[in-house]
Amino acid sequence: MKCPECKSSHVNKNDHKKGKQNYLCVECGRQFIECYQPHKGYSQEVKQECLKMYVNGRGFRAIERIGVA
């Protein structure tokens, strides 16, 4: 395993958080996990639809209740 910051292979295990093993790079001191999940966001179409409703007077809670997506 290599540090994502400095690419050093000199890493130590550093506790568990949220069920995942944390690692600590001895060289640069960065703490990291082995693999990161991709960001779960909304598509551009959904964002545009929500923005359009907001500009036309809908509130954030109203848009949430509609269940866009």
pLDDT tens column, 15-34: 998 889 999 999 999 999 98
Q: Is residue 69 pLDDT above 80, yes or no?
A: no
Residue 24: predicted pLDDT: 95
Q: How far apart are CA 42 and CA 22, in angstroms?
A: 28
pLDDT score, position 67:
77
DSSP 42: -
The pLDDT tens digits of the residues spanning 25-59 come to 999 999 999 887 887 888 899 899 999 999 999 99
Residues in the chain: 69
